[in-house]
Amino acid sequence: MDDRDPEAFRALYRAHYGTVCRYLAARADRSAVEDVAAETFLVAWRRQAELPPHIVPWLLNTAAKCLANARRARERSDALALRLAGVLPASSPGVDAELESRAHRRALVAALVAVGERDRELLLLRFWDGLAPREIAAVVGVSPVTMRARLSRAGRRLEHELRIALAVGDPSPLSIPEVA
């Protein structure tokens, strides 16, 4: 059974919240004061049955301990961030780059659908599976010269569909690699 008295705690809180916040403001960043004060009073709520008659020193001691815990947590967080910074690439793409990348992937899928099944199969064999034109020719059963011509036409169709999907007029960043 819970023997804590909500009214007594409210009175304690109203009487001493300002004192605890002033104590913390002299020792911590402004952004941490309210959080640490809340943690202090949470401890007081949990240990209400054990509170001493002279409460202010106990509250300030508890606030100091809560502040130390908050600092240790921040230090652990900063240390983790430093370790991760050493593992992650030096420059990770921002939100704009990620959105652009996703838009390009969607446009590529749309363009691959638009070129048709035959061209899509040739392009996937070449660029997804990494087969050389002579290897694709063997898979499909045509001469390497014919395959290079088909791949060249399929690449031009894909480039055209990709431009349409992206609604971009500048072909330079979207050009398909030569088939050679």
Question: Which residue stretches of the chain have pLDDT < 70?
Answer: 1, 80-93, 168-180
pLDDT of residue 88: 47
pLDDT of residue 120: 86
If one counts every other C-beta atom within 10 angstroms of the C-beta of residue 140, the result is: 15
pLDDT of residue 128: 80
pLDDT of residue 98: 72
CATH topology for 95-174 is Arc Repressor Mutant, subunit A (1.10.10)
Contacts of 144 (CB under 8 A, 6+ apart): 133, 134, 137
d(CA 50, CA 164) in angstroms, rounded, equals 73
d(CA 10, CA 57) in angstroms, rounded, equals 18
CATH topology for 6-87 is Rna Polymerase Sigma Factor; Chain: A (1.10.1740)
pLDDT of residue 144: 92
Q: Where do the domains of the chain lie? A: 6-87, 95-174
- Predicted TM-score (pTM) of this structure: 0.48
pLDDT of residue 26: 94
Q: Which of 163, 176, 153 is nearest to 104 (CA)?
A: 163
pLDDT of residue 133: 92
pLDDT of residue 78: 76
pLDDT of residue 175: 46
